[in-house]
Amino acid sequence: MNIGALHSILLVLSTVHAFQYNQLAQYIDEHQEDYVEALRDWVAVESDSSNVLRRSELHRMMEMVAQKLQQMGGSVESVDIGEQELPDKQRLALPKVVTAQFGTDPTKHTLCVYGHVDVQPAKLEDGWATDPFNLTEINGNLYGRGASDNKAPVLAWMHAVEAYQKLSLELPVNVKFVIEGMEETGSNGLEAMILAQKDSFFSDVDYIVVSDCGWLSRRPAITYGTRGNCYFLAEVRGPKQDLHSGVYGGTVIEPMIDLIGILDTLISPSGKILVPGIREAVAPLSDDEWRMYQDIEFDVDDYKNKIGVSKLMYNNKVDLLAHKWRYPTVSIHGIEGAFSDPGTKTVIPSKVCAKFSIRQVPNMDPAVVEKKVSEHLHSVFAKRHSPNTLTVSMVIGAKPWLADIQHPLYEAGKAAVKRVFSVDPDLIREGGTIPISRTFQDVTGKSIIMMPIGGFDDGLHSQNEKISRFDLSDFCFLSVVLFLQMLTQQLKKNTRGRSALDYFSESY
Amino acid sequence: MNIGALHSILLVLSTVHAFQYNQLAQYIDEHQEDYVEALRDWVAVESDSSNVLRRSELHRMMEMVAQKLQQMGGSVESVDIGEQELPDKQRLALPKVVTAQFGTDPTKHTLCVYGHVDVQPAKLEDGWATDPFNLTEINGNLYGRGASDNKAPVLAWMHAVEAYQKLSLELPVNVKFVIEGMEETGSNGLEAMILAQKDSFFSDVDYIVVSDCGWLSRRPAITYGTRGNCYFLAEVRGPKQDLHSGVYGGTVIEPMIDLIGILDTLISPSGKILVPGIREAVAPLSDDEWRMYQDIEFDVDDYKNKIGVSKLMYNNKVDLLAHKWRYPTVSIHGIEGAFSDPGTKTVIPSKVCAKFSIRQVPNMDPAVVEKKVSEHLHSVFAKRHSPNTLTVSMVIGAKPWLADIQHPLYEAGKAAVKRVFSVDPDLIREGGTIPISRTFQDVTGKSIIMMPIGGFDDGLHSQNEKISRFDLSDFCFLSVVLFLQMLTQQLKKNTRGRSALDYFSESY
């Protein structure tokens, strides 16, 4: 084929593309209300994976996912991934993982969409302005727990496939789904499932896309790395039961005071991790990284104002982004077993369990972190000569993930973003943890791209989580376009011996 | 009157006493089931004064108290004591204080019974074996929040009056009741009410009895002192709202880490209060006290085993009792606003409020303690250079109380205990706080006695609070007998110009 012929083909392709784009964009716009209603149904389910009392809701959520995919005509499976062991040794069924497949054309690339439909805890009294499980629209924003993390993005990918179907357009790629219900607590059981299906469900997957993240600013972004997370429980047990602080105070060594004493040795006021052997493992910041960070659209003052604090841990962009993305940190989330309600209870809690986590970055190893933290806490606890007992356990140990941004998948992603938003995306990392990115990479050896679906101010994990009504459409459209862009990449790479022209001449 | 005549009178008196004792004891025994049912009705009301969401239950509880006293024919008043200001500046009506009077004979002594019917918080999931608001009998023990603290004791005094009434026996003393509903949170509003009624309701009160305490061992006890309590809130506020610890961790100075840092400066692992200026105010232990403590029935090993710890803060009886009763201590009760549920939420709480208290003993002054604690915490917080804001407030500032154990009131109390339990009581102090004892003493200048009603293992303020079914009767009988003993004291003192013989010759 000479250059002139190739040029003509690309021109045809471009015209066909443009036609498809318009059809799909119009369809998506017209169905925005349906997308809001679908999200409302999903948000209404309190699929909090961290609360065992909500497990039946989580099972129901997974069934709703399977039903939706079945209604779309997918080949759907609900995969039993076994049980989890609770701290009290009870065993509890994990929510099934739902897999689905649309299209089995061996000549097409296969894109696997990963998402999760479990959510963080939420209670009205935590400071939500609206019922967190009743999707509520205020000024174009749709408020509800899980709206942005991760129910709307999961729906966006499904609605993208549906748009092709309803318009009777052939999907440019085979699309697979892997939807889980334990992401917020460390994707318990999913890694084993991926390993088990490595040579079956995942054998023909070429690329994996994850939309469990957000933009950094008003500029669209593509994410190429995430931090991992080691989540710890440090429990101090003392008296048989809670005691009256008047009656017993002064005679017993209080577990709460022991616990506060050891928690105070984790991190300094200036953010330095004090656990020996943690900081030493961190990969140094390279000059390339430094330069890249300099160019990213990020306004330190905006960030500060958005959070509502007068001072951040670092006051320049590069340090701040580096500590958000590629350095570890300690967060202390809370204490279970102590008095946490309003009021003035005069209790000596008998058993208190602190929850804290250390974010993981290359080249940290969760197994080493677990050992170092446990050794450190037991060492400082021993110095207190307390009769109470300390138990340290790491209940989540998720590794960080980092992708090769030179991979053609990222070219497709960048082009898709540019097509939809008319601007080049920032290449960013994510401070949060999507454990499965790293697992996919390790187990399947395939490339993963993270396409953020959700605004930079969506309030993931906090009160008043929301997604914009308009994001629902934009991101559905982004999903649609990525399918097409992958076709273009396929044409360029021609890895399967079939050109995009063949595809278009058959289809249209 | 010659010696022989006096002897005859006392003999008659003693015979009449014995007859009354038997009648009253039999009546009380026969009505045990009624007493259990009355307690059941009261325990069913979640009259938690520390939880503003339960305020309507508390109002209902006070109405039930007033009704009970009215049904007994008392002259009852529900005294409006105004409102309380909540931390958010909202105002909330305080539960009314119920006063009642039985008998107005100016020739008799007047005993005022103080009690409270509000309770500590309780939730099944805190580790209760039974519903805390459904009185449940297991092996003769009646489990329920408030069963021992302080609903059954309040009922015991009422049932004592009722026993006299039902048997048509004249009450040996005038009896007044002051029942409040804010004791567990510092008796808000009661002091002002006592001051206001100093020259009316309280003008003819000779003695005050409080039964809001427990025995120290299986040996009966009378209590002559209580610790006070300064209850503090230390709130650290940072970001506008809770943040995702993955997304923001490492860039913000976390309020929870600041709070833990300052809490860790309150008390050493060995129980030494580290706030400057607190320990200096404490009255030194006298030799007399040391000797008295030596003789008190108290088994350190039993105490240790009951609590379920391998080591206490002190390993000898005198040190332990002294630190239970007459030295201050710091207890850290919990943190509001942090993650306290089961599960693994990855949150950076934006606003966290620690609750801790410092028990007060002679000669500490809550106003000074407030100043010292606030100065200390602000000082250590300032050294952290945090952009977050710290607010320290003392929400309870209750003084300690100490009685003169040489007073005839204590002779009457000791004799009553000996009559009912056939053993001399230990004279003990109480580590907990009954703020009103001190207030009564300061405002009315009258003598106060604390007659513990409730076993030493009743679990006040903790899970599975209970009272023994048999205590209900024994303590009702103790109340009855104290009335009679006060008559004997009256005879000895003859302070009102009328002998007990007059009384008995009129009555029988």
Residue of chain A with shortest Cα separation from B261: A264
pLDDT at A108 over 50: yes
Q: Tokens standing for B25?
A: 């004891």
Average pLDDT over residues B69-79: 97
pLDDT at B199 over 50: yes
Average pLDDT over residues A265-280: 97
Note the pLDDT of residue A215.
87
Note the pLDDT of residue B245.
95
Long-range contacts of A166-171 (CB under 8 A, 24+ apart): A166/A27, A167/A23, A167/A24, A167/A27, A169/A20, A169/A23, A169/A24, A169/A507, A170/A503, A170/A507, A171/A102, A171/A103, A171/A108, A171/A483
Q: Which of B48, B183, B184, B191 is catalytic?
A: B183
| B83 vs B89: CA distance, rounded Å | 11
pLDDT above 90 covers what percent of chain A? 70
Average pLDDT over residues A388-414: 92
* Cα dihedral value A381, A386, A388, A393, nearest 10: 10
pLDDT in tens, A230-246: 999 999 999 999 999 99
Is the ipTM of this structure higher than 0.85? no
Chain A residues closer than 8 Å to B450 by CB: none
| Catalytic status, residue A183 | yes
| A389 vs A238: CA distance, rounded Å | 7
Chain A: nearest CA to B466, how far in angstroms? Answer: 14
Average pLDDT over residues B189-193: 93
pLDDT in tens, A452-501: 877 778 877 788 999 999 888 888 888 888 888 877 765 454 444 343 34
User: Cα–Cα distances in Å, from A305 out to A300, A321, B120, B241, B245?
Assistant: 9, 16, 41, 12, 18
pLDDT at B84 over 70: yes
DSSP string, A411-458: HHHHHHHHHHHSSPPEEEEESS--HHHHHHHHHH--EEEE---S-TTS
Backbone φ and ψ for A150, nearest 5 degrees, come out as -145, 20
| A403 vs A451: CA distance, rounded Å | 13
Best CA proximity match to B104, nearest among B68, B74, B77, B71? B74
pLDDT at B505 over 80: no
Question: Are B461 and A329 within 8 A, CB to CB?
Answer: no
Chain A: nearest CA to B33, how far in angstroms? Answer: 29
pLDDT at B132 over 50: yes
Note the pLDDT of residue B501.
41
Question: Are B432 and A247 within 8 A, CB to CB?
Answer: yes
Residue of chain B with shortest Cα separation from A320: B251
Residue of chain A with shortest Cα separation from B361: A246
User: How many C-beta atoms lie closer than 10 Å to residue B466's C-beta?
Assistant: 26
pLDDT in tens, A176-222: 999 999 999 888 899 999 999 999 999 999 999 999 888 888 889 99
Question: Are A329 and B430 within 8 A, CB to CB?
Answer: no
Residues belonging to chain B? 508
Strand partners, A294: none
Question: Are B250 and A258 within 8 A, CB to CB?
Answer: no
Note the pLDDT of residue A86.
83
pLDDT in tens, B367-393: 999 999 999 999 999 999 999 999 999
| Catalytic status, residue B288 | no
Confidence of residue A14 (pLDDT cuts 50, 70, 90): low
Return the residue matching tokens 């479990």: A118
pLDDT in tens, B272-301: 999 999 999 999 999 989 998 999 999 999
Q: Which of A120-124, A458-462, B88-92, B111-115 is predicted least confidently?
A: A458-462
Residue ranges and CATH numbers for the domains of chain B are: 65-226+400-507 (3.40.630.10), 228-283+326-398 (3.30.70.360)
Which of A274, A306, A340 would you mutate first to test chain B, the one with the most B CBs within 10 A? A340
Q: Which of A307, A333, A337 is closest, CB to CB, to B245? A: A333
Chain A residues closer than 8 Å to B243 by CB: 307, 461-462
pLDDT in tens, B224-233: 999 999 999 9
Chain B residues closer than 8 Å to A49 by CB: 343
Average pLDDT over residues B438-461: 84
pLDDT in tens, A52-80: 899 999 999 999 999 999 999 999 999 99
Chain B residues closer than 8 Å to A312 by CB: 251-253, 387
Higher pLDDT, A138 or B408: A138
Examine residue B150 and say whether the peptide bond preceding it is cis (omega within 30 degrees of 0): yes
The Cβ-side half-sphere exposure at B419, using a 13 Å CA radius, reads 25
Note the pLDDT of residue B494.
44
Residue A264 three-state SS: coil
Contacts of B424 (CB under 8 A, 6+ apart): B414, B417, B418
Residue of chain B with shortest Cα separation from A317: B251
On average, the pLDDT of chain B sits at 90
Residues A398 and A183: beta-carbon distance below 8 Å:
no
Query: What is the identity of the amino acid at B297?
Result: E
Question: Are B341 and A121 within 8 A, CB to CB?
Answer: yes
Question: Are A229 and B257 within 8 A, CB to CB?
Answer: no
Residue of chain B with shortest Cα separation from A343: B50
On average, the pLDDT of chain A sits at 90
Contacts of A179 (CB under 8 A, 6+ apart): A62, A65, A97, A98, A99, A100, A114, A115, A116, A117, A154
pLDDT above 90 covers what percent of chain B? 70
Higher pLDDT, B3 or B103: B103
Confidence of residue A274 (pLDDT cuts 50, 70, 90): very high
Examine residue A363 and say whether the peptide bond preceding it is cis (omega within 30 degrees of 0): yes
